[in-house]
Chains A and B, each alone.
Chain A
């Protein structure tokens, strides 16, 4: 049985359509990612799954129940890390966990035990008596994750869990999320970091303009659309036309973004054929989700 199942799911804000008839099914134990730029409709989707926003149309079942009718039963089995910091700044680190546990009617002893475990798991035990103002951004995000886990959720919703963090803090969170993944907690993750999605997600849905453009396993999607490898060719303005002509002659799959030409392919035979093109620098690397995303959404992306 799918843990989350959406059919033709829609959400409007006045005349603006934020989520435009999407469908997806998330299986138990899976980490499912929604990828896309700001405004793609990722957070709106998550807000509907957590029962924060009523839907405008379509159907949405979470844990086998209708989110519109049984929100409180569903919410008691959810863990949510919001994009915006909504930790309780009037409380200490530990109080944040204990107060939250009380909203779930968890017995006090059990809440204490869970709080101890989670503070250690997210490396916050040394900070447990402190007010939130003395915590770094990364620590606050870890506390938000601890808080989301306090009720032992069956479904974890992570809305851009590492946005705005420095690389070190981000890697620490990724390591923790990987450990959670091993425990087979069903997870929905939204992100605009392709690297994050590739590391953590079993399946991803690429969103733009309220629609799902493509859905599947990250490696498979990349292989199907982009290929194994990418050559990034950085060219000067004056060499650009000549370079483009040359690439077109080769008959390869390519994209242009700014002063860079991205050439996609499968074999190692690509490089020699390009040597005749004048360029500043060339980078030959493995294809990533970012390439896929830029190819799918790049040209339509509105800043």
Chain B
């Protein structure tokens, strides 16, 4: 049963890969261009003002968080605009539901694909960080990639819940303003969360990005392992729950109960 589900989810994933292959250049160029702009803007511009960020240069400080931000944004973009277009505008899901695939398979495939896009974006970011001399712990690459894939799965499943109840592209503004931008600002990507009131930064531990940033920073710079371990446990619970909930919500939208 489980094997069948994963195989069928993989078929949906393959469909998205095929489409991606026909326009991957545009996507990759965007993926390379953006990190360079961010690194230059924040690193060279803002970094000149910030002399010391927890014992490392500012560029070094933001490097692990920038990877997480890249994974988060790519996964969220794919599972909002991409998935919504397929579901509501193009009725691709409806076409696929006439085959042996079920809503469960489709949602799993979409989440796997969102995570794949997230992983790709973060790995491109990693290559650029290497070129800037901001990363040299090659032995940690498999764990970093695993962390980014997990973040991709977590964000994709959270995002699919939003897409399931969206009535138009405009609805995504709520999601971006209320979830993504706060996660971008307050999960330790650009500055240590110790700068914030304790209750405020603790609240963000309910969101996967905070944990992915903690884990990545640990893999980049070392330090205490307690927060990264909490993060791994969090991901282990959040991802299955997110997949379950988003599947339920998409099902409710596509297949009205009798």
Contacts and interface: CB of A to CB of B under 8 A. Distances in A.
A66 to B, nearest CB: 15
Given A76-B100, A95-B18, A82 B95 contact: yes
A11 B258 contact: yes
Interface in B50-78: none
B15 interface: yes
B255 A53 contact: yes
B90 A90 contact: yes
Contacts of A12: 258
Interface of B: 7-8, 11, 14-15, 18-19, 22, 90-92, 94-102, 255-258
Contact of A103 (B19, B22, B99, B255): B99
A27 B91 CA distance: 31
A86 interface: yes
Contact of B90 (A71, A73, A89): A89
B100 A55 contact: no
A55 B257 CA distance: 9
A87 B92 CA distance: 7
B258 A84 contact: no
Nearest to B8: A103
A147 B99 CA distance: 11
A151 B98 CA distance: 11
- Of B22, B95, B255, B258, most buried by chain A (CB within 10 Å of CB) is B95
A99 B18 contact: yes
Contacts of B18: 91, 95, 99
Contacts of A78: 98
B258 A75 contact: no
Contacts, number: 76
B90 A102 contact: no
Given A52-B255, A82-B95, A89-B90, A75 B15 contact: no
Contact of B15 (A87, A99, A151): A99
B94 A72 contact: no
A88 interface: yes
B19 to A, nearest CB: 4
A112 interface: no
A103 B4 CA distance: 12
Given A13-B256, A91-B18, A102-B11, A50 B94 contact: no
A301 to B, nearest CB: 26
A295 to B, nearest CB: 33
A100 interface: yes
12 contacts: A52-B98, A53-B256, A54-B258, A72-B100, A82-B91, A84-B94, A86-B94, A88-B95, A95-B18, A99-B15, A103-B8, A105-B100
Contacts of B96: 103
Interface residues of A, number: 36
A210 to B, nearest CB: 14
A85 interface: yes
Nearest to B22: A90
B98 to A, nearest CB: 4
Given A91-B19, A99-B18, A75 B99 contact: yes
B255 A88 contact: no
Contacts of A55: 258
Contact of B11 (A71, A85, A103): A103
Interface in A6-59: 11-13, 50, 52-57
A100 B99 contact: yes
Contacts of A148: 98
A219 B171 CA distance: 53
> Chain A CB within 10 Å — which of B90, B92, B98, B258 has the most?
B98
Given A50-B98, A102-B11, A90 B19 contact: yes
Contacts of B97: 52
A80 interface: yes
A104 interface: yes
Nearest to B94: A86
Contacts of B256: 13, 53
A189 B172 CA distance: 39
B102 A71 contact: yes
Given A50-B98, A103-B100, 7 more contacts: A72-B100, A82-B98, A86-B95, A87-B95, A88-B15, A89-B90, A99-B15
A294 B101 CA distance: 40
Contacts of B257: 54
Interface in A83-133: 84-91, 95, 99-100, 102-105
A87 B91 CA distance: 8
Contacts of A102: 11, 14-15
